[in-house]
Amino acid sequence: MHIRFTKMQGAGNDFVVLDETQGRLGLTAAQYRFLADRHFGVGADQILTVRPSPADGVDFEYVIHNADGGEVEQCGNGSRCFARFVYDKGLTDKTTIRVQTLSGVIAPQLTPDGRVTVDMGLPVLDAPRVPFDASGLAAATRHRAQVWPLALAAPAPAQVEVVVVSMGNPHAVQLVDDVDQFPVAVVGPQVERHVRFPQRVNAGFLQVQNRAQTKLRVYERGSGETLACGTGACAAVVAGIQQGLLDARVDVQTRGGLLTIAWEGGAQDHVFMTGPATTVFEGQIEIPDAL
Ligand SMILES: N[C@@H](CCC[C@H](N)C(=O)O)C(=O)O
C-alpha cells in the first residue's frame, strides 16, 4: 500500500501524521510499527491519525499509536502538531480546535507567536483511576500529594517514590536531584512495566530547579525515552504543585525543547500546555501488506 504522510515534531517528540479525513487506511499494529521504525520505515515516537468529526461539538478525531503499534489515549506534543497540521492543510480555518481523543475532548489553540496552547483537561490523581494498584501499600503524604513506594530490581535502586497522575494516559513521576545524570534507561523500563500499573505507565523524572523552572526526562510507555513528552510535562508539573514545590506556571526544559505548563491546582482547574509544533517534511512510502 502506498501512503502519503507528514513528518512533524513538537519539542523533539516526533510524529508521522496521517490524514484519514477522506477515508480509512486500515493500518494494522505491525504497519504502525513499520512506519515508526527508524531504520526500515519513516521513524517516529508516535503515529498520529486525523479523522473527521465523530460527534456534534468536536471538529476532528485524532488517534494515537505508540512506536510499538499500540493505540493510546492521549499525546500532548502530538495534539499541538495535530492542530498545526489541520490548520496548515486547510482542513479547518479555526484557530481553536476541539478534538476527540480516546480519553476525551481536548482543545488546542494556535497562538500568534506560532506556538500552540492546549487545554489538556483535568488531571486525575485518584490512584485506581490512573490506573495504579495500591493494594497493601501505604502512601506518604507530602503537602497535598500521595507519594507511593515502588519496589524495583537491581541494578535499579531497590525502591523509588512516585506520584501517579493521569492526563488521560498514565504517568508515574519521581523527583530526582540531577536529571542529566539519572539512569533513566535502567529505571524507566522497570517503572513502565511495573506490576502495579495494569496498563503500563509513562515514567517521568523531574528535577525542580526553582518554583517556576524544571527539567524533565520521560521514558514513555511503548516508545522508550523521547526528547519530550507533553502529557508527561503536564503530569510532572501537577505532581510538583501537589507536593508544594512549584507555582502555578512552570517552564519545563526537556531534551528537545521548552514547554510551559499552567495549572491553578483546584479540583475543577484544567491543565494548559504551551509549546512548539513544526512540520519537518512530507513524503510517501510503500507499506508492505504482509507484516
Ligand atoms: N509523547 C506523548 C505521549 C504519547 C503516549 C504515551 N507514550 C503513552 O503511552 O501514554 C505526549 O507528548 O504526551
Q: Which CATH number fits domain 127-269: 3.30.420.40, 3.40.50.720, 3.10.310.10, 3.90.420.10?
A: 3.10.310.10
The pick from 17, 106, 166, 223 for probing ligand 1's pocket by mutation, whose C-beta has the most ligand atoms within 8 angstroms, reads 223
Q: What is the pLDDT of residues 233-264, one digit of tens each?
A: 999 999 999 999 999 999 999 999 999 999 99
120 lines ligand 1 (CB under 6 A): no
The answer to the question of whether 210 is labelled as a binding residue is no
Which residues neighbour 56 within 8 Å (Cβ) at sequence distance 6 or greater? none
Which is it for the CA torsion 212, 222, 59, 131, positive or negative? negative
Ligand 1 pocket, residue 59 CB under 6 Å: no
- In testing the pocket of ligand 1, which one of 64, 71, 102 has its CB within 8 Å of the most ligand atoms? 64
Give the pLDDT score at 289: 87
State the distance from the centre of ligand 1 to the C-alpha of 231, rounded, in angstroms: 6
Share above pLDDT 90 across residues of the chain, in percent, rounded to a whole number: 99
Cell representation of residue 206:
523531574
Largest CA-CA distance found in the chain, in angstroms, rounded: 54
Atom of ligand 1 at shortest range from CA of 220: 7
Predicted local distance difference test score (pLDDT) of residue 291: 78
Contact in structure between 273 and 233 (CB atoms under 8 Å)? yes
Residue located nearest, by CA, to atom 1 of ligand 1? 229
166 Cα to the center of ligand 1, angstroms: 11
Structural domain boundaries in the chain:
2-119+277-286, 127-269
3-class secondary-structure state, position 277: coil
Tell me whether residue 66 is annotated as binding: yes
Average pLDDT over residues 170-177: 98
What would the 3-class secondary structure string for 2-43 be?
EEEEEEEEECCEEEEEEECCCCCCCCCHHHHHHHHCCCCCCC
288: exposed, middle or buried (C-beta count within 10 Å: 0-12, 13-18, 19+)? exposed
Q: What is the ipTM for the molecules in this complex?
A: 0.99
CATH of domain 2-119+277-286: 3.10.310.10
Tell me if 231 CB under 6 Å of ligand 1: yes
pLDDT digit string (tens) for 121-165? 999 999 999 999 999 999 999 999 999 999 999 999 999 999 999
Long-range contacts of 148-154 (CB under 8 A, 24+ apart): 150/191, 150/194, 150/196, 152/187, 152/190, 152/191, 152/194, 153/190
| Distance between CA atoms of residues 148 and 160, nearest Å | 8
Residues 6+ apart with CB under 8 A from 214: 206, 207, 208, 236, 237, 240, 246, 250, 251, 252, 253
2-119+277-286 matches 127-269 in fold: yes
Q: Residue 230 CB: number of other CB atoms within 10 A?
A: 29
